[in-house]
Amino acid sequence: MTPFFAIIDAPIIIIIVGLGVLLFGADKIPKLARSMGEARKEFEAGSRAQNAPPPQDQTQPPAAPPAAPPTSQPPQQ
């Protein structure tokens, strides 16, 4: 079994590009490529933001309240 990309060579790529020019027109191809590049950049930025650790909270946590004095008196003897 041969890999799929092993059968794609220069003449096939030229034919695919030619068909793309015929279908979309020469003036639409740069716009299409530009929009695909922008979409890729947005996707990468979103995936980086999702994988980034959450920002650390800069505020200090509230201090623990002081310990309450014991309420019961020790037994007298």
Q: Is the separation of the CB atoms in 35 and 43 below 8 Å?
A: no
Write down the H helix ranges in 1-77.
10-24, 28-51
Q: Within 13 Å and on the Cβ side, how many CA atoms surround 3?
A: 4
> CA–CA separation, 6 vs 46, rounded Å?
32
Q: Report yes or no on whether pTM surpasses 0.85.
A: no
Q: How far is CA 19 from CA 13, 31, 63, 69, in A?
A: 10, 17, 70, 86
Q: Where do the structural domains in the chain lie, given as residue ranges? A: 26-50
Question: pLDDT tens digits, residue range 4-59?
Answer: 666 778 888 889 888 988 888 888 888 888 998 999 999 998 888 777 676 666 66
